[in-house]
Amino acid sequence: MDVETKYTGLEDITLLHKALPEIDFDEIDTSTKIFGKKLSFPFLIASMTGGHPETKKINENLAEAVEKTKIGMGVGSQRAAIENKSLEDTFSVVRDKAPKAFIYANIGVPQLLQHGVEIIDKVVELVDADAVAVHLNFLQEILQPEGDKKAKGCMKLIEEVCKYSKVPVIVKETGAGIIREIALELKKVGVSALDIGGKGGTSFSKVESYRASEEIWKKVGADFWDWGVPTAFCIVDCKDVLPTIATGGLRSGVDVAKCLAIGAKVASAALPFLKDAMKSSEDVEKKIEYFKRGLKTCMFLMGCKKVEELRSLKIFVSGKFRDWLEFRKIDVFKFMEGER
């Protein structure tokens, strides 16, 4: 079943090949830090699952691979564990298997509205989290007959979370993107980072359209299959507002390199790891290494010893992404010359 949209904006970015890189592959350092924790390369496995007995093994496999490869991950929405204590171990297993890795907790705005900001303590403690993501999924909610359609007061609530939380707060979209105007508001209320969750990966409008039993909900869901702001557009919108995690349709190390080149702090993906996580931690580890090798190969072919160097290299942009830069009054030629 196809649940992905097809355009991330990364398709319109060309990384420029350097025929004489003048570096050795072994010289390249892909490491970076997020909230003081070192990652072997700028990558996280995005929030995926939890809250069902069968998902415990998936999270075990993900966490073991993350620990071994020295990256980080987020857990899926912890709503189920709040409502049913017996499901807590489907989340807590992540920290058990990844004692040193960067881990972020995850809770939705509707649950905060229902239970109050105090539940932040519970979700953070459950996985001994280094940060907590407050996820926004209003596109999905509005396409569910039973979905939560109340959004009034959410910004004020996020401000309360930022004041209350003992760990950094990440605001995370889930496939429709975060634009600059929202990013600026989130910065004002104390948010520490953004996971822009742009269009181009999993479309939850597709998911809900397939899931719907009534014809009208199927049709409305289908109308919104391509709704949202593409990943690359959101990166350039938010990169100079708050540290930006690029999620939404990333499928290779080349995609990671493009995201970093246009300003993302870290890249992230979920769907490419799901099938592997259902098999073994070794399969997840191989997929992580695939992403890392792709990034490192890009760096070699562009003559970069460190990740930060990607952000000031010349690149070429075209198509809708170029149109977006112009719409945002960003000097396209300076952008391509490395003034990003």
Dump pLDDT digits (tens) for 132-151: 999 999 998 888 888 888 89
What is the pTM (predicted TM-score) of this model?
0.95
Q: CA angle 8-14-16, nearest 5°?
A: 150
- Asked if residue 233 lies in contact with residue 321, where contact means CB atoms within 8 angstroms, the answer is yes
CATH class of the 10-337 domain in this structure? alpha beta
* Rounded Cα gap, residues 251 and 137, in angstroms: 22
167, 123 contact by CB (below 8 A): no
Taking alpha carbons only, the member of 122, 78, 127, 71 closest to residue 104 is: 127
Tokens of 312: 């000031």
Q: Give which of 19, 9, 85 is closest to 51, Cα–Cα.
A: 85
SS3 (DSSP) at 269: strand
Which residue has 């990440």 as its token pair?
Answer: 170
Backbone angles phi, psi at 202, to 5 degrees: -65, 130
Helix (H) or strand (E) holding 103: strand 102-108
CA 62, chain centre distance (Å):
16
CA 58, 33, 199, 298 dihedral sign is negative
CA separation for the pair 64, 93 (Å, rounded) = 10
- For CA atoms 150, 143, 111, 176, the dihedral sign is negative
Q: Distance between CA atoms of 325 and 293, rounded to whole angstroms?
A: 30
Q: Which residues of the chain have pLDDT under 50?
A: none
- CA dist 209 and 188 (Å) reads 36
In this prediction, residue 32 carries a pLDDT of 98
Cα Rg, the chain, nearest whole Å: 19
Q: What is the pLDDT of residues 260-291, one digit of tens each?
A: 999 999 999 999 999 999 999 999 999 999 99
Contact of 150 with 298, CB cutoff 8 Å: no
DSSP state of 255: H
pLDDT for the residue numbered 222: 87
- Say how many C-beta atoms besides its own lie within 10 A of residue 77's C-beta: 25
Give the C-alpha distances (Å, rounded to integers) separating 12 from 15, 236, 340: 10, 13, 16
Q: Return the exposure string of 292-307: e unless at least 16 CB atoms fall within 10 Å of the residue's CB, then b.
A: bebbbebbbbbbbeeb
CA distance 248 to 47: 12
CA distance 284 to 203: 23
**Among 272, 305, 298, 292, which Cα is nearest to 13's?**
298
Token pair recorded at residue 48: 């995926």
Specify the pLDDT at position 118. Answer: 96
